[in-house]
Structure 1
Amino acid sequence: MAEFPNVAVNMITTPDLAVCVREVVNRMDGRPVIFVHGNVSSSVFFLPVMAQLPPHVRPIAIDLRGFGGTDAAPVDATRGLAVFADDVWATVDALGLGAVDLVGWSMGGGVVLQMLLDRPAAVTSVTLVNPVSPFGFGGTTGLDGALVAPDGAGSGGGTANADFVAALRDDDDSSEGPTSPLGTLRSFYVAPGWDRENEGVFVRSMLSTSIGDDNYPGDSVGSDSWPGVAPGTRGVLNTMAPIYLDLSGIVDVTPKPPILWIRGELDQIVSDASLFDLAQLGLLGAVPGYPGVDKVPPQPMVGQTRSVLDAYANSGGEYTEVVVPGAGHTPHIEKPDIFLAALRIHLKV
């Protein structure tokens, strides 16, 4: 990419698909740090900070299936985020790496927790950046992630905004409407005050998302429970449906690498009052027929993450929480100096 001439882009062949990998040039012998991006984005969101790590660190950013330059292979959502985790581990193996440090943002935070569950001895450290709750996105209540409805109503592929999906499908890179990729980036990915550096690059990254039932957003089924939609079995949003995803098992892994949890203070996506949670939108009157907060309360996403990490610490692990003032869902983009300082302390580099 012309904006990042110090980044090399390679396609890595794994048993299931070809994976797009972005690395800082001349870092092949450094300590491998794997960066895993979030939903409706790609590894490009990590490029501005990767080169600022010390020369003895090898930052490796991987596009998940159906995003960026990686093949748009179907996503079996009934395995939760394990399909994505398998792809990243397969890429790590194909690169001939040993133990790795993992950095996951948003949905990627859930992916790296799944990777920790799968191969704890191969993980040196974990960094979670505004991660999805260990109990998924939507459809749960309480700090233990209890289902609001048995079928996971209020989560999955049917919760996506149809206008936003259409804008992605139409490669809309200019509209500033509230449901356009650009408008969504400005209104929800970042907090007010961001300098908009590389904004066009990030919008193009969002537009690299593969659209359809097998990818984003995924399929859905009807439900007798409000809001009338429940998860299907295919595609990205369904991987984070609570009927398929429960990452609280990290409490029991051995060994337990240190975890850094860094999050933007003003995040509107992963929040205890998320504007992407249909229960919160119902509470605000934006989704009709809301049965009330006593029956369908908003998901306490941040509280759920803290509860699981507290249990992780109480069972012999350790974690550090860093809240970035004035940042939204992308502190690595909005406040890179604070993000890098916290990451370097965590990695001891």
Structure 2
Amino acid sequence: MTTSTNVIRTRRVPTGRLTVQLAEVRDEGGLLPDRYRPVAPDLRGFGGTDPLPIDATRGLRDHVDDLAALLGALGIDRAHLVGWSMGGGVGLQYLCDHPAAVRSLTLVNPVSPYGFGGTHGVDGALNSPDGAGSGGGTANPELVARLATGDRGEGSPLSPRAVLANYYLKPPWRSGHEDAYVEAMLTTRTGDDHYPGDSVASPVWPGVAPGTRGVLNCVSPLHFRLDGLHLVDPKPPILWIRGEDDVIISDTPLFDLAHLGAIGAVPGWGGTPAQPMVAQTRHVLNRYAAGGGTVREVVVSDAGHAVHLERPEEFGAALLEVLSA
């Protein structure tokens, strides 16, 4: 029987764009072959990375350029990328911009290639030309306030701890490292330049459209969409692994105002369809495969948005397979 001991070291690395905080993992239990060097950077505005403002009009390219600068500073010319949630979108955009620098891409419950909110259909058609229903104005203000004040309790269903337990994870599963995860959530920089970002009024339900700054605007379909993923060359292999019971990235996503309107949680809904996030991702990846790429979808039952935390054995086995291909 092999016993695994992971030693995590955190450090800050200066680049030509900003200073990035990253965690490096030394795996002493033999879970990864010796030739792999796990590196987990914080995105700007999260963790210990410099909280530079996010220009959302570039979609996720501020994050992509930060990652390229970091890999350059580390002397890494080609990497296996693993991206969770919005990080999956960063990985997809990185693949579009730097395909020769990607050995493989693993998507873990990723944001749709057509952003978050404000679209319908598998091809990500906008619900409104102004992107209504997406962007900074769609965040719950109580959650934002509790992040900003450092709420570590569970007295509200919108406290960071409750959101982690009830939405990121599939109840009733709770992590033994929950306190550490909550502390990490509380490093989120809030405001118009960070989370959730700014917004503008819209004449179209639900009355808000994306602004030009911050986290939720950089994943608005007005600024982020990957219609041309199937055209990249070369095409490294893509692993798409997701929890079957994810309620955040779903075809009926609980953080999408259109779905919330459909179930009566947001007033004034007039039939705007929910964003089919999983179907959109499958559509884009099917086009990638039809264009000559290799795609593998792994669906893990009885797991939610944080499948890598809830079901690490299944996640690790799938990841090792793509790393060894």
| TM bin (shorter chain) | over 0.9
| 8 Å contact kept, 1:53–1:340 | no
Residue 78 (str. 1) matches residue 57 (str. 2): yes
Instruction: Report 1:1-349 matches (<5 A).
Output: 6-25=7-26, 52-292=31-271, 296-348=272-324
Aligned mates of 2:24, 2:140 — CA distance in 1: 33
Q: What letter is aligned with 2:93?
A: Q
SS in 2 for 1:57: coil
SS in 1 for 2:37: strand
1:15 shift after superposition: 1.4
Q: Who is 1:30 aligned against?
A: none
SS in 2 for 1:126: strand
Residue ranges of structure 2 left out of the alignment (5+ in a row): none
Aligned mates of 1:81, 1:247 — CA distance in 2: 11
Aligned mates of 1:10, 1:182 — CA distance in 2: 26
1:8 shift after superposition: 1.1
SS in 2 for 1:248: coil
Aligned mates of 1:53, 1:9 — CA distance in 2: 19
SS in 2 for 1:302: helix
Q: What letter is aligned with 1:74?
A: P
Aligned mates of 2:320, 2:225 — CA distance in 1: 29
RMSD: 1.5
Identical aligned residues as a percent: 56
Deviations 1:282-303 (A, max 9, x none): 00000010012xxx10000000
Q: What letter is aligned with 1:95?
A: L
Q: What letter is aligned with 2:317?
A: A
Q: What letter is aligned with 1:179?
A: L
CA spacing shift, 1:61–1:196, aligned 2, 3 Å: same
Runs of 4+ residues over 3 Å off in structure 1 = none
SS in 1 for 2:241: strand
Aligned mates of 1:118, 1:265 — CA distance in 2: 30
| 8 Å contact kept, 2:6–2:27 | no
Q: What letter is aligned with 2:130?
A: D
Aligned mates of 1:243, 1:158 — CA distance in 2: 14
CA spacing shift, 1:123–1:158, aligned 2, 3 Å: same
SS in 2 for 1:86: helix
Aligned mates of 1:77, 1:52 — CA distance in 2: 38
Aligned mates of 1:213, 1:115 — CA distance in 2: 24
| 8 Å contact kept, 1:110–1:247 | no
SS in 1 for 2:188: coil
Q: Who is 1:43 aligned against?
A: none
Aligned mates of 1:248, 1:104 — CA distance in 2: 19
Q: What letter is aligned with 1:63?
A: D
1:346 shift after superposition: 1.1
| 8 Å contact kept, 1:77–1:236 | yes
| 8 Å contact kept, 1:64–1:84 | yes
1:193 shift after superposition: 3.8
SS in 2 for 1:6: strand
Aligned mates of 1:111, 1:51 — CA distance in 2: 29
CA spacing shift, 1:51–1:88, aligned 2, 3 Å: farther
1:54 shift after superposition: 3.1
Normalised to the residue count of structure 2, the TM-score between the two structures is 0.96
| 8 Å contact kept, 1:24–1:51 | no
SS in 1 for 2:23: strand
Equivalent residues, number: 321
Q: What letter is aligned with 1:220?
A: S
1:51 shift after superposition: 8.2
1:195 shift after superposition: 4.0
Aligned mates of 1:115, 1:303 — CA distance in 2: 22
Deviations 1:30-54 (A, max 9, x none): xxxxxxxxxxxxxxxxxxxx98433
